[in-house]
Amino acid sequence: MIGERLPERLSPLAARFGLRPWYGDIHNHCGISYGHGSLEAALRRARRQLDFVSVTGHAYWPDMPVDDASVAHIVDFHVKGFARLQKLWAGHFEELARADEPGVFTVFPGYEIHSFAHGDYTVVYRDIAGQPLIEAETPTELHRLLRAAVGDGAFAFPHHIGYRLGARGVNWDSVVAELSPVMEIVSMHGCSETSVMDRPFLHSMGPSDGFSTARHGLSRGHRFGFLGNTDHHSGYPGSYGHGRSAVYAAENDRDALWEAINGRRTNALTGDSSHLFLAVGDAVQGATVAAGGNAELELEAVGGGFIDCIDVIRNGDIVARVTPDLAPSPIEVANGSMETLLVLELGWGARGSFHDWTGTLELLDGEILGVEPRLRGPEVVSPLEGDGDGEDEARVELDGSRISFALRAMANPNNSTAATQAIAARIRIRPDSRVRLTVDGQVFEASAERLLQGALSGNLGPIDSPAFRLHPLPRPHQWQWHGSIGIEPLRRGEWLYARMRQANGQWNWTSPIFCE
């Protein structure tokens, strides 16, 4: 967020606990192993739209199918990627240290281990300097070796857990709770919350399996928090819509973030840096409560756009659903002026083309409070698919009531995959406020009242030319909600969490609250 972060007046429940959300991606890849793009570029891109990051190398695969000729091409790029990481590992800490800025942008080292038998794990270290690259064949062995090497300075989380057991999905029987306080439930691979979601597993590795989902693991008695990460392979941490995490801590501090992750005060998100906070009495997401305690659930939500619904999930069942349009309860009530969200989306045009957008977005007779870049990287995963690097020099800057930008947007590759780039701004408008977009020498204007009634779109030229869209402005009750929900007292072994779906298809999941 460029400018003012989410203020306490829009997150009073989280502020009551001395917490605020910080957004990051701790599982993504670049050219330090197999992947594309330089580490320097990946860290620069991460800083544009994240508060913390870990850029992950591919390190080890103990049960790799080396004797299967049909997948020799896959084995080949893995072997080369592992060797590359081994070569670069010791020296890459200097690059991480240069990018790290205490209190502003936090960098954690990390790497990945694959496994058919146990699922894939991402190892994350707390401290930057000189961490070991440990190879282990089981989570138990990994836990033992990490503890011997760095004590409590590392954890490892399963990712893309939804793949079936034996196909690099999670193995619930070998999960080590002390090693894995959190698990990744959404990424480019798909969503692993439950069997049927609107983000299915489409990778060549196969579909998801119901017994590998987060809900199944929770029903088996495992306790873990939720993460979202991109698993992006083209040096673009935080690539919009592919996954990210929110960590609730008092400040963007290495130790504070580390304590929050290990305390499961985490959310999994898909794209927008939204806010969803859950409390039962004095316990927030990730915590454990006593049986029979407080039966009132407090919820606080600040969307990155129009909120469709907020669900409360208890032991796998939806026990409450909030639809803000039907039960409005905004955190802040408009009084003369109104705070809302302005989103500019850029792209479209003839397939296979791109456009370099340069321009400004101004708010006349209003205030721009903060700016959130929503930028995507190229969706190239395998080294066999192309280099996917594209040294991206996107720029998004806020100066008073004007946002200046320069960025490249690819045309959408088909009618169901978005490749657009976007800029979101939290703004305060008055009755006479107007929005002015100046791009490629053309000027487009719309009143705030016009955008409250619906989106405004335009092309730079004739049909099939690059186009823009100014999204509709939500009223406070459409992007904020807070309130209490009465629930039956929690019983021993139960768990509950909340999830929020936005009208633009972006999601947010809180980690569960557990009952002893």
| pLDDT tens track for 276-296 | 999 999 999 999 999 986 678
Give the SS3 label for residue 52: strand
Give the SS3 label for residue 226: strand
Query: Quick check: pTM over 0.95?
Result: yes
Task: Find all residues with CB under 8 Å of 419, minimum gap 6, and list them.
Answer: 347, 376, 409, 410, 411, 412, 413
Say which amino acid occupies 169. Answer: G
Chain-centre distance of CA 247, in angstroms?
A: 10
Question: pLDDT (tens digit, 9 = 90+) per residue, 237-259?
Answer: 999 999 999 999 999 999 999 99
Report the alpha-carbon distance of residue 3 to residue 23 in Å, rounded: 15
Is the CB of residue 296 less than 8 Å from the CB of residue 302? no
Identify the segments of the chain with pLDDT beneath 70: 293-294, 381-392
Report the alpha-carbon distance of residue 156 to residue 139 in Å, rounded: 9
User: Assign residue 221 a region: left if phi > 0, alpha if psi is -120 to 50, beta otherwise?
Assistant: left
Task: Find all residues with CB under 8 Å of 415, minimum gap 6, and list them.
Answer: none
Question: pLDDT (tens digit, 9 = 90+) per residue, 371-406?
Answer: 999 999 987 766 666 655 555 679 999 999 999 999
Task: Find all residues with CB under 8 Å of 358, minimum gap 6, and list them.
Answer: 405, 406, 439, 440
Report the alpha-carbon distance of residue 425 to residue 448 in Å, rounded: 14
User: What is the crossing angle of helices 39-49 and 72-99, to 10°?
Assistant: 60
Q: What is the pLDDT, as a whole number, of residue 240?
A: 97
Task: Please provide the size of the chain in residues.
Answer: 516
Question: pLDDT (tens digit, 9 = 90+) per residue, 456-501?
Answer: 999 999 999 999 999 999 999 999 999 999 999 999 999 999 999 9
Chain-centre distance of CA 56, in angstroms?
A: 15
Is the CB of residue 378 less than 8 Å from the CB of residue 234? yes
Q: What is the pLDDT, as a whole number, of residue 379?
A: 78
Q: What is the pLDDT, as a whole number, of residue 516?
A: 87
Give the SS3 label for residue 415: coil
Residue 449 main-chain phi, psi, to 5 deg: -60, -40
Residue 297 main-chain phi, psi, to 5 deg: -100, 130
Q: What is the pLDDT, as a whole number, of residue 212?
A: 98
Is the CB of residue 505 less than 8 Å from the CB of residue 272? no
Q: Which two tokens stand for residue 122?
A: 């991402």
